[in-house]
Chain A
Amino acid sequence: MNYYKLLNVITSIGFSLISSGAETYRVEESIERMLSAYDLAEVDVFVIPNCIIITIRLQDNTSITKTKRVKARTINLDKIDLLNDLVRSICIKKPDIATIEKSIENIHQIEKKSPIKQIIGHGLVAFGFTLMFGGTYEDALCAILIGPLIYFVMYGAAKFQVNSIFKTMVASSVTAIIALLFLRIGLGDNLDKIIIGAFMNLVPGVLMTNGIRDIIVGDFVSGQVRLTEAVLIATAMAVGAGIVLSVYMAI
């Protein structure tokens, strides 16, 4: 067994987990359990949302450490589930490295996000929440057009590696501008309902959930990182739309 290769493969599983939005303790526990299955003297794992550090000690007392920096994180819940199943099967079956590599490759192949689904999803979120918060059907119609626009802004910004706070601010400004435009040409009745519906695409729900779940199990550093980001994103949403609305009111 080549332990250097094993460490690389296991790290890449951890990397995929954390970059598709898994909680910190899940990543730590998965890596630790997978490595423990392979007859090592000692395994130590430290994970925070933007870094993974793993050290293993072999039976002959030599140690290997690997650090992996995580720069970008997205949300891909199905990938987490598939990787979770892979982790379970590795712990039980202890397959060789080539087999693990093949199944990771397989998961990456299946889990490519399709843009059409994303566009429909953003539209539906805006549509549903506008109605849910008491908007009229006309409002919902406006919102369903704004939703995909948010996707394009976020996707375009991700291409240029803009940070998430500025990205959210721009997307929220665009939302407000388009909503005002719709109202001007007579489509839609309630400005607030349209904007709130579209806002739900930007809301930091995953960050909040995972931040709290990190804190529950005692990963306070990770929890703090995520909750801080959540608060900043919520502020960015308010500021983005606020700038547009205050300019509009001044005119």
Chain B
Amino acid sequence: MEILLPCVYSFIACVGYCFVANVRLRKKMLFFASLGGAIGWGVYLSFGYMENGIVQSFLAIMIVTIYAEILSRIFKAPATVYLVVGIIPLVPGGGIYYTMEQAIRGNTIEFLNTGLRTFGIAGAIALGILFASSGVRMIVNIRNLSKSIKSPNKSVSKKT
């Protein structure tokens, strides 16, 4: 219940974001894109025992990226659509606020601490997307290569 309820909230928020980014019902995009956001936050919370936002964000964004890449191949839609919506709950909006709050309170040490943690989360998100996307790309390329070796007459070069 502690994890389920925030996931539902995350889903609602992502539906809102889908409206903002003009994602539509076609190809069931609205539902699956929002579900990505809920999954991401669910993963983040289920690794909550680590008490390390950076690692949690990294793992969550890896799952979201793999989810987005798989869906983009099922529905023949750009992976960005799912990724952009799925990433939103993990972007450190809270970190930005708390860093600013410490800055105007004049707590230099706390300001640096929170700021670095926020920066770390942003970096973890970047690395997570980088790892997962590159991994998926590699697997797809290997599969295409082995296909073209098996049937050299047909040129297999399809990217999404």
Name A residues whose Cβ lies closer than 8 Å to a Cβ of B.
21-23, 26, 29, 75-81, 84-85, 111, 113, 117-118, 120-129, 131-133, 147, 192, 195-196, 199-201, 203-206, 208-210, 212-213, 215-216, 234, 237-239, 241-242, 245-246, 249
Task: State whether B96 touches A234 (Cβ < 8 A).
Answer: yes
Q: Which residues of B contact A85 (CB under 8 A)?
A: 76
**Interface pair A208/B91, CB less than 8 Å apart:** yes
Most buried by B among A78, A79, A113: A78
A248 to B89, CA, bound (A): 29
B14 closest partner in A (C-beta): A128
Chain B residues whose C-beta falls within 8 Å of the C-beta of A111 in the assembled complex: 22
> Is B104 a contact of A245 with CB atoms below 8 Å?
yes
5 contacts between A and B (CB under 8 A): A77-B33, A80-B80, A81-B81, A213-B129, A216-B129
State A129–B26 Cα separation when bound (angstroms). Answer: 25
The reply on B122 being an interface residue by CB < 8 A is: yes
The interface residues of chain A lying within 8 Å CB-to-CB of B125 are 208, 212
**CB neighbours of A127 from chain B (8 A):** 12-13, 16
Determine if B93 and A128 form an interchain contact, defined as CB atoms under 8 angstroms apart. Answer: no
| Most central of A23, A80, A204 by chain B CB within 10 Å | A80
B91 contacts across to A, CB distance below 8 A: 200, 203-205, 208
From A76, A121, A238, contact of B16 by CB (8 A): A121
Which residue of chain A lies nearest to B20 when distances are taken between CB atoms in the complex? A121
User: Which of A126, A238, A249 touches B96 (beta carbons < 8 Å)?
Assistant: A238
What is the chain B residue whose CB lies nearest that of A122? B20
B94 in contact (CB, < 8 A)? yes
Knowing A131-B9, A215-B130, the reply to whether A238 touches B19 (Cβ < 8 A) is no
* Contact A209 to B41, CB < 8 A, known contacts A78-B22, A121-B17, A128-B9: no
What 10 additional pairs, Cβ within 8 angstroms, besides A21-B21, A85-B76, A238-B103?
Answer: A78-B23, A78-B29, A78-B81, A118-B19, A122-B16, A124-B15, A195-B97, A196-B97, A213-B129, A215-B130
| A-B pairs with beta carbons under 8 A, tally | 169
Q: What B residues does A249 contact at CB under 8 A?
A: 104
Q: Can you name the residue of chain B whose Cβ is closest to the Cβ of A117?
A: B19
Contact A132 B89 (CB under 8 A): yes
Bound complex: CA A199 to CA B137 (Å)? 33
Output the least CB separation between A129 and chain B (Å): 5
Would you give the shortest CB distance from A57 to chain B, in whole angstroms? 23
Q: Which residues of B contact A (CB under 8 A)?
A: 6, 9-24, 26-27, 29, 33, 41, 76-78, 80-81, 83-85, 87-89, 91, 93-94, 96-101, 103-104, 122, 125-126, 129-130, 133-134, 137, 159
Interface centre among A26, A121, A127 (most CB of B within 10 A): A121
Identity of the chain A residue whose Cβ is nearest the Cβ of B81 in the assembled complex: A77
Q: CA–CA, A191 to B96, complex, Å?
A: 14
Contact in complex: A212, B84 (CB < 8 Å) = no
A-side contacts of B130, CB under 8 Å: 212, 215-216
Tell me whether A132 and B78 are in contact (CB under 8 A): no
In the complex the two chains form, what is the Cα distance from A125 to B11 in whole Å? 10
Residues of B within 8 A of A122 (CB): 16, 20
Partner of B159, one of A29, A124, A147, A205: A29
Tell me whether A128 and B10 are in contact (CB under 8 A). yes
A216 & B134 in contact (Cβ 8 Å cutoff): yes
The one of B23, B84, B85, B93 that contacts A129, using a Cβ cutoff of 8 Å = B93
User: In the complex, A192 Cα to B88 Cα: how many Å?
Assistant: 18
Given A75-B21, A212-B130, A245 contacting B101 (CB threshold 8 A): yes
Is the beta-carbon distance between A26 and B16 smaller than 8 angstroms? no
